[in-house]
Structures are given as structure tokens and as C-alpha cells.
Amino acid sequence: MTIAAISPGIDSASAVDLVSAIDMSSAADVAAELSSDLGLADADIRYGLTQEELFAAAIEGDLGRVRPGGPDGEHKAHATALGSDGPLIFYSDPSCTGRPVHDTFCVDRPSLREAVWWKDGFARFDEAAFDPLVDRVVAHLIRLRARLYVTDVYCGTDPDFAEPCRFVGEYATHAYFCNIMLPAHLMPPAHLNGAADHREHGWTLLNVPSFHCIPDRDGTVSQRAVIIDMQRRLALVLGRADYCGVNKKTMFTVMNFVQPQKGQLSMHCSANVGSAGDSAILFGLSGTGKTTLSADPDRDLIGDDEHIWTDAGIANYEAGCYAKLIDLDKQAEPVIAAALSMGGTLIENVPPLDGRSLADTHPQELDLRDRSITENTRFAYPLECNPHVAPGHQGPHPTTIVLLTADAFGVLPPVAILDPDEVMYHFVMGFTAKLAGTEVGVTEPVATFSPCFGAPFMAHKPDVYARLLKQRMHEHRARCVLLNTGWSGGAYGSGKRMSLPVTRRLLDAALSGEFDDADTRTHPILGLTMPVACDGVDDRILDPRRTWAAPEAYDEAARRLRGMFRDRYIEQGYAQMGIAAAM
């Protein structure tokens, strides 16, 4: 086995700082472990490369398909005019510009069968087929004498709850991405390379784009697959599934299974903390304002996507952000705009300019409105690119929980105060609404329900997370509000979107406790508790019925939405899970 060993690090500067803490013989140990654990011998192992070295390796050697119907030998990674001082540009396979939902599985082991929430996006994979598939993948790599990039990282910034993860993959870009998104440099020196307890407690993520599955032989449904084996602590990413986000979402799904078993709450949310130590977590689906509202100049950001609420407080799972770039307003999002020109970042699936090579293009010149490859253009960058980041990406127990929704029906109030049972109900509902015109065939708002505001990645049934949330809120006396960033005065097309200043004022009021003893009224149809006043906000906005020109039309719309909630409650069997109805 060929071994290339360079000190692990997020960049060359940090690598120099850490050389004294790294046992250089660990590269040989990694090679021996891969051979012993997986039978992976006779491969060209590149372990612990710095980001600069991975940048160069990606441009030179990451080859595959980048155009529909194109060959598999085209370069997938590129530099801009800034070279290694700027972002790495990566193009995933055109058939995989997002998470491959229908090709994502969990190995169906008897010991786990009752614990897993089986569903589309986390379907059963026959355990009798998994081990032979692993052997075929390994044999494939040995036959190719494949060059494999290996990096040891952690999922989690709290050492007491972080899970070691060893990425092993054919693309240097994916190792580069993992070094951005998953922390290694935040751990105590003894744990920097993940070797201390990886064999017993760590996870291996084996990413092999060159292995195209044969469904009849391998037990998959297509030529690609993402398969997690919770028992072996092994995840396979195979075939045309090279969208970078697959790597982090696979480990997030792992954390969502492992941590609740330890009594800790794994969450799809953003989080921040005020100067008084008043942490807050914000749950919400795409388009509800989760990232925007957590980026508050008066509060320190803990993270924008994936967290854990432990016995000690809140900790980010990640060391980076993975932001959508499509139609980015650089004036409204100056942090992301500035980071586009920084080194150690990764731009994914933004098309080159017509007639210009990427090597001659400054990253600020890229057309972020161009959706010719995908709507899901992405940008990975270190969390430290944001101002006001909480030390260690951690915070104390939250005092405020915010459930965000963007109600395009114009029915929900802009803010409602929830009791613990209502929190469980709205948390498992995970409601928002798609807008007319955003998808082919969508001509009016469509209700979307995603349990725990992240159903695809929740490995346990929703009530597991809901009970943990209720327990944590009770233990730490946290308040909760439902914050609607959607429409007022009518549905999408007739009403108007809540203004960001109004939403921020309501959020600030919730965070400061202004609604704790406020005068309230009860919504006559939805049963929600609404404050009657908030300094700086027109009182009429707080009662959505008063914003509609035809109150009777509002009542009809409210009853329709209530019916959607009730139908969903019955369909999902939430009563049998012990979750009380709230509408």
C-alpha cells in the first residue's frame, strides 16, 4: 500500500501549528487499519493532506461526468483566477445535484429494526446483501489500485459527544469538503487525528464514485446508493452520488440515530447566543428564515444547520456552513458574498460564464442566478467567515425555542406562544408551504409537513425527538414561540410577505421574554395563543384575521389549514405515539 502522509490540518498554517501534536507514524497505522478492517490493500492512500494539497489534487485528478450524456473522464474540480487563494469549483454528476433520496438506505439489522424510522429516503437494505457489497467495492478499489484520500474528522464540536469519522474516498474534493464542514482542529491535541478511539467508536465513510452498482447483484434500486450500517459503523456512497452534501448529511443521519440513544437531542436547527448567555435555537425548513434570523449582529452565531442539545448545552455538529447560492443577494448576505473570494472554500455547481474559462474568472464575477445546472447551487465555507461566532461553536442551554414556518396561505399569526404539548405537536408537524410557481404544476400554495423540521435525516421516529425536546425544555425552563415568516393579509398572490424588520422585532421580543407575561388572545379556529401587542409592531398584524379584506374568506382559509393539520395528525398516527392534538 502506497502512503502519502502530511500533517492533518484545515490549512497549511494550522498544519504547521499542529505538527508537534501529531504522531507521524499514524499514516502507517491508518493504512494498516484499512487493510485489517476492510481488506483494503494495494491502494494509493493519501492521508491527512492539507487543504492546499487537496485543492491541487482535486484539480489534477478528480475526473468524472459533468455534463448530461458526457464522458466519465472530464475534470470536475477547477480553480478561479484567484488560484489556491480563492475557492475550489466543483461540478457533481448532473444526475446528482442534491441528496439522492430514493437511493438512500439503512442496513436492516434485527437489533435495530424496531428503533429505525423506515421511510422513503431511509429505506431498508437487506443485511445479507450488504457485507458482500462491501467486499465487491473493496475488490473494485484494489483492482484499480485506486488513489484514495483519507481524512480524520469529527461530527460535533463538543469532545464529549463528538463522533470520530474517517472519510475514505476517490475524490480529493470530498476530503476537502469534509475538512471544511466537519471539525478536526477543535478537538484536544490527543484527538486531533481521530486515532485515539476510532477503531472502537469511530465511523468510516467510504465514498467510491467509480463503483456503479448492479441492482440485481447488489440489492440496490439503481446504479448508485448511499447505505448506512449502524452496526458496522460504516457508510457507503457509491456511483453517481458525488454531490458534496451527501457526505455531511450521511453523518448527520448517523448522529440523529446515535445521540438520542444516549439521551441527547440531535436537531436540524440554527442557534445563537446573546451577551447575557441567553441561547436560542431556531427550527425551520428551507425558506423560513432559519439561517437569516440566526445571523444577528447583536448575538454570537453557534451554527446555522445541525446541532446537539446535550446535558451540558448546545453544540454545533459542524465547523462550516453549506449555503445555497442561487439568486444570492450580495448586499443582503455580505458574509457569504465576501467569503466567495476566500481560500479554503468550495463552490458547487455554479456554471462558468459563457466564453470564459474558470481560470480567467474572478469568483465575484460568477452569475449566481444561473440555474442551468441546478437550482441547488451551493457554497461551503468555514464558520469563522461569519462575524460574531460563539467560542468553540457552543453555547449554554437555550432559554428560547423558535419554530419557524412560512405560511403561504396567510393564515397563521406572525407569532404564537406555545405550551409544552403544543411544542411537541408543532415540532412533529414541521409545517411550511411551497409557493405557487416554484415547482412545475404548483399553481397555489401547497402544505409541506416535515417532522422535526428535517424528516429525511431523522433516523428515529418523530416522537423520540419530540419527547427529548419537551424534556429539555422542562429541565431548563425554556420558552417557545411559533414564528410565521410567511404571508399576511391573504395568501401568496394576494397578501404580502411579513417584512423582515417586523419578524426580527417579534423574534427580539420573544428572546428577551417580552411575551412571558403578555396579554394574549386565543385564535378562535386554530387555538393558538397570540400576544395582543408588541412594541414597535402594528397591533393589527398580530391578529391575522384583521389583516384580510374579507374576514369570512380568512375563516374559510383557516378551517382548510386546520383540516390539513388534522389529516396529517391522523395519517402519521401521532395519537398512538402519545402526542396530543393541538388544532
Dihedral angle over CA of 19, 22, 27, 33, nearest 10? -160
Beta strands in 349-426 (DSSP E): 378-382, 394-395, 398-405, 415-417
Kindly name the residue from 76, 99, 198, 523 that is annotated as catalytic: 99
163 touches 152 (CB < 8 A): no
Please tell me whether residue 203 adopts helix, strand or coil conformation: strand
Q: Identity (one letter) of the amino acid at 188?
A: P
Sequence-separated contacts (24+) of 10-18 with Cβ below 8 Å:
10/51, 10/179, 10/180, 10/184, 10/185, 10/319, 10/344, 10/382, 11/50, 11/51, 11/52, 11/343, 11/344, 12/50, 12/51, 12/52, 14/185, 15/50, 18/185, 18/189, 18/192
Residue 291 is among the residues annotated as catalytic for this protein:
yes
Cβ atoms within 10 Å of 147's Cβ, excluding its own: 17
Please tell me which residue in 291, 345, 488, 529 is annotated as part of the active site: 291
286 noted as active-site residue: yes
Would you call 147 a catalytic residue per the annotation?
Answer: no
Which of 362, 120, 125, 156 is CA-nearest to residue 229? 125
Select which of 166, 185, 249, 472 is catalytic.
Answer: 249
- The answer to whether 268 is a known catalytic residue is yes
Count Cβ atoms below 10 Å from residue 337 Cβ, excluding itself.
Answer: 15
Burial of 110 (0-12, 13-18, 19+ CB in 10 A): exposed
- N residues, the chain: 583
Q: Helix, strand or coil for residue 43?
A: coil
C-alpha–C-alpha distance, residues 175 and 46, integer Å: 10
- Whole-number CA gyration radius for the chain: 24
DSSP for 102-119 reads GGEEEEE-TTTTTTS--B
* Per annotation, catalytic residue among 233, 268, 472, 505: 268
Q: How far is CA 65 from CA 73, 74, 95, 517, in A?
A: 7, 6, 9, 59
Q: Does residue 262 have an active-site annotation?
A: no
Q: Which of 35, 84, 95, 286 is catalytic?
A: 286
Q: Is residue 104 annotated as a catalytic residue, yes or no?
A: no
Residues taking part in catalysis: 99, 249, 268, 286, 290-291, 305, 378
